[in-house]
A and B are shown apart, each in its own frame.
Chain A
Amino acid sequence: MKLKTLEEILKKKSSKTEFAILTNLENGNSEIYIPGTSPEGEFSKYINEIEKFFKSKKNGVIENSEIFVETYIKPIKVIIVGAVHIAQYLVDFAKSLNFEISIIDPRGYFASEQRFPDIKVINKWPKEAFEEIETNSNTALIALTHDPKIDDPALQFALKNKFYYIGALGSKKTHENRCQRLSEAGFTNDEINSIHGPIGIKLGGKSAPEIALSIIAQLVSETYKK
């Protein structure tokens, strides 16, 4: 691989652009491919196969050839509501897991850049904050404030927009009350039951990093179920 190609790959990664690396395993030539464009030279006749790898989000060698395709897909967007202590540990875990984190918290003293360097922190109420973030059914929501006036609007937005993972921190009692409010707001039982609450898999831990670990474990598990 040419150093120039490596630099281009890193640039594409940091700008979160989807691409694939095409490598000829026989002669060592490699090239970056952007979906929807035409690959050059020796790779051009494999366009259909390359697109197939891209669609299935897989890496591999094209059958009966010596061409290796490695696809880079956009990281999964995870929105955390509540710039609390647990969120700081979640950010640390998420860094090595290719999740892209945004944090929403209207409380300025929590939502500081100093507490969350290099993370998009939106110091607004959820309703306004969601106007700044592009979301879809590949988005996950982790609600951590257990304050109804902050968490509830975010949960409602996530349910309406069919996020693939929605989790909310709080005790069983807190969650029961939350379900009651969502039911009164017109959400169906199926929708309400899709919320992971109390959030996280059972690890038994109570400290902030332990709770963060249980949440991220559940998020990874649900991501692979998609």
Chain B
Amino acid sequence: MKNSFDEKILDEAQDWIKANQKVVLATVIQTWGSSPRQVGSRMIVNEKGDFSGSVSGGCVESAVVSECLSLIKDNKPCKKIEFKVSNESAWEVGLACGGEIAVYIEQIH
């Protein structure tokens, strides 16, 4: 029986929204190989680029933040992003663990 360790992140998302911030929710939806965070791990990002929670061990967070900011800027509802070792941007941001993850980002509106 797995515990959902990140449970508080959705409460925090609601707090941010109440404070009139735009919030994008990022969720790990798939993993391959060794990845630090399990499926269902979450992170929230606001329009200023502040973030809370995590989708990896610090490897791809910065890339996810900029994807979330673009989502807000372009006013799109959602997007799926894959970080693979073969992916150039993953090398840039450094998926040092050698794993692969897919992250789904969505605006809360």
Binding site for B on A (CB under 8 A): 1-3, 6-7, 9-10, 13, 23, 25, 27-28, 30, 57-61, 68, 70, 72-73, 75-76, 96-99, 138, 223, 226
Q: A68 is contacted by which of B2, B8, B104 (Cβ under 8 Å)?
A: B104
Interface bin, chain B: 20 to 34
Q: Are A70 and B40 in contact (CB under 8 A)?
A: yes
B38 vs chain A, min Cβ distance (A): 8
Q: Are A60 and B39 in contact (CB under 8 A)?
A: yes
Q: Are A61 and B30 in contact (CB under 8 A)?
A: yes
**Interface positions of B from 18 to 49, Cβ below 8 Å from A:** 25, 27, 29-30, 38-40
Q: Are A6 and B40 in contact (CB under 8 A)?
A: no
Q: How far is the CA of A198 from the CA of B92 in the complex (A)?
A: 49
Q: Which residues of B contact A7 (CB under 8 A)?
A: 14
Q: Are A96 and B39 in contact (CB under 8 A)?
A: no
Q: B10 is contacted by which of A9, A23, A138 (Cβ under 8 Å)?
A: A9
Q: Are A1 and B40 in contact (CB under 8 A)?
A: no
Q: Which 5 pairs show the lowest CB-CB distances between chains A and B?
A: A59-B40, A28-B78, A98-B3, A28-B77, A59-B39
Is the C-beta of B95 less than 8 angstroms from some C-beta in chain A? no
Q: Are A98 and B17 in contact (CB under 8 A)?
A: no
Q: Which residues of B contact A98 (CB under 8 A)?
A: 3-5, 7
